[in-house]
Amino acid sequence: MPGNSFGQIFKITTFGESHGGAVGAVVDGCPPGLEISEAEIQQDLDRRKPGQSKITSPRKEQDKIHILSGVFEGKTTGTPILLLAYNQDAKPEDYEHLKNLFRPSHADYSYFLKYGARDFRGSGRASARETLARVAAGALAKKYLKQQCGLEVLSYVEQVGEIRTNILAEQVTFNSIEANIIRCPDQETAKKMIELVEEIKSQGDSIGGVIKCVIKNMPVGLGEPVFDKLPADLGKAMLSINAVKGFEIGSGFEGVKMKGSQHNDEFYINADGKPRTKINNAGGTLGGISTGENIYFRVAFKPVATISKKQNTVNLQNESVVLEAAGRHDPCVLPRAVPIVDAMAYLVIMDHYLRNKSQNE
């Protein structure tokens, strides 16, 4: 089956293209009685939308969300919810010069090989504009999980190029993330990151980096044995985001440098008389099931593929050509990807929360 849907009980199906009429999502399995408004969803979408700062795409889209079904008198009804945002600033003519050639490191080539056709207008379905639908759906999961267990997901830019903050994830707050346009909670490091992105932008180039995520107030027992482990589903969710090339949870690849005696999370009894782990190298899961400790992971984003520097490529006639791309693109995708990482984390936890609830109640 085509991979346009995500989740088992809390299931979303996204639709739409970058320069088509609209993008949106159908959300099925949302419990009834959840109070939700377009304004609440809009808050998260405004963090993702283009044109929000000098280091993001200049495309001017308000990304105004419309709830067209599944909500009555301000509450979810338990029926499918249709979320829709119309494209207002689509300019397909900007991509006419790409009609007969393939951009390096882009989905142009693979889509053409798979389907025998492609939407060259901003890559159509392969565009990061599709993530608008994920963020809108994630807002529902966010509201529900906050009410049920106080769960909070905080993602932030940890690294841009070689510049990295060493701030502890547990010290990060939403306000510190939103205090600057790069969304790095370390304000001094953020200034250096912004300067780097501006320099890269002036060169007509792009740069990647790392987003770190911490999930607080995690319920215990989420995740299924073997194939539906919680970290496995989080990994799939993050790797489904445009430009993501790496995912690690807990100690990740640094763990290979440790001995078992160093890496093992020893237990102790806290003041409430409950077992806790001292270090949390596991990143909040054991055997793929949540322990109640904070979950933390890192997501690596490659540089944006579309740049204005001259590059060698080929066209539909298998001829070598030189591409100097035009259009409206982010020099660094990280600031706008933060709410996308948030949303995908909420969607995974929401689905597993409902699966666990159905199994144990």
Q: Tell me the residue type at 49.
A: K
pLDDT over 80 (residue 151): yes
What is the DSSP secondary-structure string of 194-240? HHHHHHHHHTT----EEEEEEEESPPTT-S-SGGG-HHHHHHHHHHT
Structure tokens at 119: 């939407």
| Contact call for residues 228 and 222 (beta carbons, < 8 A) | no
> How far is residue 157's CA from residue 177's CA, in Å, rounded to a whole number?
8
Whole-angstrom Cα distance, residue 341 to residue 155? 7
- CA 336 to CA 221: how far, in whole Å? 31
Residues 214-222: what's their mean pLDDT? 97
Angle (nearest 5°) at CA 171 between 173 and 148: 55
Say what percent of the chain tops pLDDT 70: 96
On average, the pLDDT of the chain sits at: 92
- Summarised one tens digit per residue, pLDDT across range 235-245 is 999 999 999 99
Tokens matching residue 97:
């010069």
Q: Burial, 282: exposed, middle or buried (Cβ in 10 Å; 0-12, 13-18, 19+)?
A: buried
CA-closest candidate to residue 136, choices 69, 41, 71: 41
Q: 319 is written with which tokens?
A: 């001829």
Instruction: Report the interhelical angle of 334-360 vs 230-239 (nearest 10°).
Output: 150
pLDDT in tens, 168-188: 998 999 999 999 999 999 999
Answer whether residue 91 shows pLDDT above 70. Answer: no
* The pLDDT value given to residue 90: 62
CA distance 333 to 337: 6
Give me 239's structure tokens. Answer: 């790797």
pLDDT computed for residue 55 by the predictor: 83
Reference 354, options 39, 141, 74; nearest CA is 141
Could you give the CA distance from residue 193 to residue 181 in angstroms, rounded to a whole number? Answer: 10
Distance CA 62, CA 140 (A): 20
Question: Sorting pLDDT into bands at 50, 70 and 90, what band is 327?
Answer: low
- The residue-averaged pLDDT of 312-331 equals 84
**Burial of residue 333, with CB atoms counted within 10 A of its CB: 0-12 exposed, 13-18 middle, 19 or more buried:** buried
Backbone angles phi, psi at 5, to 5 degrees: -120, 155
User: How high is the pLDDT of residue 306?
Assistant: 84
Domains of the chain and any CATH numbers: 5-360 (3.60.150.10)
* Structure confidence at residue 51 as a pLDDT band (50, 70, 90): confident
Question: What whole-number distance in Å separates Cα of residue 154 and Cα of residue 156?
Answer: 7
Three-state secondary structure call for residue 301:
strand
pLDDT at residue 167 greater than cutoff 90: yes
The answer to whether the beta carbons of residues 151 and 222 sit under 8 Å apart is no
